[in-house]
Structure 1
Amino acid sequence: MGKSSFARWACGTHALKGTPEEIIKVGGKAADMKHSIAGRMEKYGEYPTKVIVDVPRDSLQYVSYAGLEEVRNGLFFSGKFESDMVLMNPPTMLVLANSPPEEGKWSTDRIKVHRIASI
């Protein structure tokens, strides 16, 4: 199972359990990520507790580590379209990528890197 298939499985599992509002799959661009999460409040009346970031192989250079950190903190400004501040409980985050994160972009106490050879 590849990383995108895993993301689809995780989101589908929550949908089948009747809790699709708990999880969201986003890309790695900060504005898109924040806008998608902010939109969950409008759609479901609550923010997700789990965020999956599925980074396509050719988009690694567009991953916003600042955006990831802001979402992980549970406090950010979503300036895309209808601008607003988001204050939420810090979600559990899973970033799926084909390469490890860039050195020095995250504090070692804020990240756990796991290499998954195959599922």
Structure 2
Amino acid sequence: MMKTFGVGAAMLAVGFGAGLAFAQAQAPTGRTPQFANDEVKVWKSLIQPGNPLPLHRHDHPRIIIALKGGTMHILEETGPAADKSDIQTWESGKAYWLPANPKTQHQDVNIGKEPIEVMVVELQKAW
């Protein structure tokens, strides 16, 4: 009986893990708030391939930590002109500094084949 329970529990765990992976792969592009106070705002962003974040801007500088890295094409609202876009590759487990860009809106487009997931820590005041 115990052996059967062990095999069943293992199968359930594998099935549950596969279900979580499927759910994450199917999760929509978007931001999930994590924490905010007067000094920082933190959110997790998930960007699916071919499903960019809406146009937005950043009034403050920020640090991103790539939980699951990839290549992002950052398009300013003026269009994909060479001087108005940027391609950045973020490696999983690494942190990156991004300056404020309060004057223009941009859209983050995942140009890879896998989802990109980052934690963003945005400073709320000048240091």
More RCO (CA 8 Å, sep 6+): 2
Fold-level similarity (TM above 0.5): no
Whose radius of gyration is greater, 1 or 2?
2
Q: TM-score, normalised by structure 1?
A: 0.28
Bigger fraction of residues in helix: 1
Bigger fraction of residues in strand: 2
Q: TM-score, normalised by structure 2?
A: 0.27
